């Protein structure tokens, strides 16, 4: 892969713990996002002065832990199977209280020069960057004004973080749809500051569907600025979450991760239901970190019910959903997927990206090896596209 353009479409950084205390406007600084050690010895994420109830005690120390704890978790499971430990002790591996968010930061996650060195080591040209703490807080902050302020602070910081990388680190702005007009203004400001696109959560704190015309100011801004708008998975409010249909099942983190992309799929579907692609024919939408193998059956089902049933009458589109996907959308695949080569003739070779998710612990660290397996059965044009050409075109990186 060293002779081809390779771009990671979805890598992550770990924000400095004092980012919001430093970058927030003075009006909001006393309500900044913070990390503090609690009486239990674990670090806690404070959101508007209140400890997070979704981020588990000690979880902050694991956020940069790609490839870590596999052996420890396996050993604990085997001990449980032998009866050496109680079943409840298998329900997640809690880090020692001495481990910290900063101590768990992987190479290249907090230092721009290190991240560029990592790209060099791995033969990559560029990486498109997303947050880590920024994927946690919005699920617990329903104040639209403060949410927008948190986004502005992060966006200023990530633009500064990437600025000296010679264009190899690509900053993406975080937008909250709680206040669509402010989100549109922030997108314009962030793009002028160097951001090459934006992302939103798979839920909205107002419970207004993503594709609803009340968000048109954001779509219009992205279209006029010629930057993509992504939907990226985040922690979600428990009341909105698709996973809480079973009682006493909160320990099953493997199960929840297996279906983590469902919120993104549901948000993405609203763009078709509300006719966003009809109203904004030049808007580019990117589906992130929810795998890509589902897009085949998603489009088949969407087209079939649109054209062949009365359900299609509710969809505010003139053409079939697949027409707009092929015209305006892109989707990110995980390197461990094996169905993408077969999907490419149906969906389009120019529709797929790949992503490392580095350094998050819910993906294995062998992404380069897996990437070789992902592209091996592809045509030459499909291989070049998914490795880097597609994301370069979508984000205008050339």
CATH number at residue 216: 3.20.20.140
C-alpha span between 389 and 9 (Å, rounded): 11
* Domain ranges, residue 372: 7-32+107-394
pTM for this one? 0.91
Is residue 322 assigned to a domain? yes
Residue 74 lies in a domain: no
Helix (H, G, I), strand (E, B) or coil at 98: coil
Mean pLDDT of 63-77: 63
* pLDDT for res 257: 82
pLDDT class for 247, splitting at 50, 70, 90? confident
97, part of any domain: no
Backbone angles phi, psi at 286, to 5 degrees: -115, 130
Q: How confident is the model at residue 81 (pLDDT cuts 50, 70, 90)?
A: low
Residue 298 falls inside a structural domain? yes
Query: Does 269 score more than 60 pLDDT?
Result: yes
Q: With respect to residue 60, please indicate whether it lies within any of the assigned structural domains.
A: no
Domain count, the chain: 1
User: Exposed (0-12), middle (13-18) or buried (19+): which is 158, by Cβ within 10 Å?
Assistant: buried
67 in any annotated domain: no
Q: What percent of the chain has pLDDT over 70?
A: 91
Q: Is the predicted pLDDT of residue 296 greater than 70, yes or no?
A: yes
Q: What percent of the chain has pLDDT over 90?
A: 78
The pLDDT score that the predictor gives to residue 251 is: 80
What is the pLDDT at residue 283?
A: 98
Q: Is 304 a member of any domain? A: yes
For residue 278, being part of any structural domain is answered with: yes
pLDDT at residue 1 tops 60: no
- Of the pLDDT bands very low, low, confident and very high (cuts 50, 70, 90), residue 171 is very high
């Amino acid at each position: 892969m060293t002779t081809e353009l390779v771009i990671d479409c979805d890598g992550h950084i770990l924000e400095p713990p004092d980012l919001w205390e430093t970058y927030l406007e003075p009006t909001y600084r006393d309500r900044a996002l913070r990390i503090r050690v609690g009486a239990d010895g674990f670090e806690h994420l404070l959101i508007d002065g209140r400890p997070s109830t979704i981020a588990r005690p000690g979880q902050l120390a694991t956020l940069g832990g790609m490839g870590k704890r596999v052996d420890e978790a396996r050993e604990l499971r085997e001990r449980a199977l032998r009866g050496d430990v109680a079943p409840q002790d298998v329900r997640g591996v809690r880090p020692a209280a001495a481990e910290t968010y900063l101590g768990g930061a992987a190479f290249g996650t907090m230092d721009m020069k290190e991240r560029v060195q990592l790209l060099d080591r791995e033969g990559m040209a560029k990486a498109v960057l997303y947050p880590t703490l920024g994927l946690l807080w919005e699920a617990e902050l329903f104040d639209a004004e403060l949410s927008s302020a948190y986004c502005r602070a992060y966006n200023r910081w990530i633009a500064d973080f990437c600025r000296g990388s010679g264009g190899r680190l690509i900053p993406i702005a975080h937008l909250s749809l709680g206040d669509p007009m402010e989100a549109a203004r922030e997108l314009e400001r962030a793009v002028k500051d160097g951001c090459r696109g934006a992302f939103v959560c798979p839920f909205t704190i107002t419970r207004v569907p993503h594709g609803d015309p009340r968000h048109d100011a954001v779509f219009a801004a992205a279209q006029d600025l010629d930057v993509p708008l992504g939907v990226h998975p985040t922690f979600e409010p428990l009341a909105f979450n698709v996973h809480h249909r079973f009682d006493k099942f909160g320990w099953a983190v493997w199960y929840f991760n297996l279906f983590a992309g469902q919120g993104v799929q549901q948000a993405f579907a609203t763009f078709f239901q509300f006719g966003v692609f009809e109203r904004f024919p030049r808007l580019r939408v990117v589906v992130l970190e929810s795998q890509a193998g589902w897009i085949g059956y998603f489009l088949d089902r969407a087209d079939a019910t649109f054209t062949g049933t009365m359900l299609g009458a509710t969809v505010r589109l003139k053409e079939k959903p697949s027409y707009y996907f092929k015209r305006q959308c892109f989707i990110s695949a995980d390197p461990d997927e094996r169905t993408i080569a077969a999907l490419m003739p149906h969906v389009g070779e120019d529709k797929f990206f790949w992503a490392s998710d580095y350094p998050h612990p819910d993906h294995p660290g062998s992404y380069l090896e897996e990437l070789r397996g992902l592209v091996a059965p592809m045509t030459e044009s499909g291989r070049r596209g998914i490795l880097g050409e597609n994301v370069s075109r979508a984000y205008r990186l050339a």
